[in-house]
Amino acid sequence: MDQIEQLVQSVLQGNRRSIAKTITLIENNEPEAQKIVSMLYPETGKTHVIGVTGPTGSGKSTLIEKLIRELRKRGKTVGVVAVDPTSPFTGGAFLGDRVRMQEHSTDEGVFIRSMANRNAPGGLAKATKDVIRVLDASGKDIVIVETVGAGQSEVEIVKVAHTIIVVLAPGLGDDIQAIKAGIMEIGDIFAVNKADRQNANKAISDIQAMLEMDTEKTGWKPSVLKTTALTGEGITELLAIIEEHKEYLKMGALEANRKENVETELAEAIKQKIAESIIEDLKRKGEWEKLTQKILTRETDPYSAADMLLKKAKRN
């Protein structure tokens, strides 16, 4: 057995050090990463992935801490991937989500990993999807993914999570905010957290009104509930809705979503691999520079150049 096979076996057995090392290899896109992911792939698809998104400071991490606690009481093992932003200026990141979850750090049934988004758009890191796969293959019953503090358009989470909780807090905005496109469209569950504060009912009714406008929507009707993560209020109710949503997905939506996600992922993989190989090839032959020059002098344009390359590639 070579080193990679050993590592993969060890991940499948749930070895924590191996899980951590594997995540690093994938996150850094080391040469072994792709092989590892393809070896783990057949063992994935068993976990329920819960996405937790919402604005900065709405209480996502604290809510997750309470979810972990309740899930552990029920004997479920939990993986957490907590994404925080990378500075676009220095490339550094301060990953502070797990501060709220440290109570679970020594629990063998919980594995928490912080990820910097490394400037990927959409609220997740590029490698988050594959990191979820590592935790899935390692046997975690539930994987919770916390996005970066998401304002409006950070909706990558829909591609990786089965159930999405949008965590909001009273006083963040009125019904005009609730009607905007983006994260308000992706929630399966809306948790109005910090519900002990003033105006929680107003926030609930704003969200409900927004959801009611969506008359076209068939299937799952998003739920809205109040939570106070700090005291744990509303957590059992939240888990009950998560369970309900999970059951709903089993009636067909899960397979449909999965197919859609696989198609997107395949299309992305093809684009990336083929584009990379063509570009590398051009650079090796010195044609990249020539093409660039032609475009610079406006002899041709990027689209025509790409068309020309495609025709050439098809002939070969």
Instruction: Name which position in 78, 116, 238, 249 contacts another protein (CB under 8 A).
Output: 116
**Interface of this chain with another protein, residues 257 to 286, rule: CB under 8 A:** 272, 276
Cα–Cα separations (whole angstroms), residue 151 to 95, 97, 118, 262, 279: 18, 17, 18, 27, 35
Identify which of residues 260 and 268 has a Cβ nearer to another protein in the complex.
268
Cα–Cα distance measured from residue 41 to residue 155, given in angstroms and rounded to the nearest whole number? 24
| Residue 15 sits in the site that holds another protein (CB under 8 A) | no
Q: Using DSSP, state whether 59 is helix, strand or coil.
A: coil
Site residues for another protein, window 189-218 (CB under 8 A)?
A: none
Our CB check for another protein shows the closer of 15 and 44 to be 15
One residue of 48, 60, 66, 100 binding another protein per CB under 8 A? 100
Phi/psi at 11 (5° precision): -65, -45
Q: Are 129 and 120 in contact (CB under 8 A)?
A: no
Which CB sits closer to another protein, 248 or 288?
288
Among 1, 2, 31, 176, the residue binding another protein under the rule CB under 8 A is 31
Question: Of the listed pieces 11-19, 157-165, 202-210, 227-235, which binds another protein according to CB under 8 A?
Answer: 11-19
Asked whether position 24 contacts another protein by CB under 8 A, the answer is yes
57 binds another protein (CB under 8 A): no
93 part of the interface to another protein, by CB under 8 A: yes
Q: Which CB, 81 or 167, lies closer to another protein?
A: 81
C-alpha distances in Å from residue 130, one per residue of 58, 115, 117, 158: 27, 12, 13, 15
Query: Pick from 227, 145, 152, 156: which is nearest to 192 by CA?
Result: 227
**Residue 167, SS3?**
strand
- 3 state SS of 214: coil
3-class secondary-structure state, position 189: strand
121 binds another protein (CB under 8 A): no
User: Considering beta carbons, is residue 273 or 290 the nearer one to another protein?
Assistant: 273
The tokens for 304 are: 């025509």
Interface positions with another protein (CB under 8 A): 16-17, 19-21, 23-24, 28-31, 86-87, 90-96, 98-100, 102, 105-106, 111-114, 116, 118, 272, 276
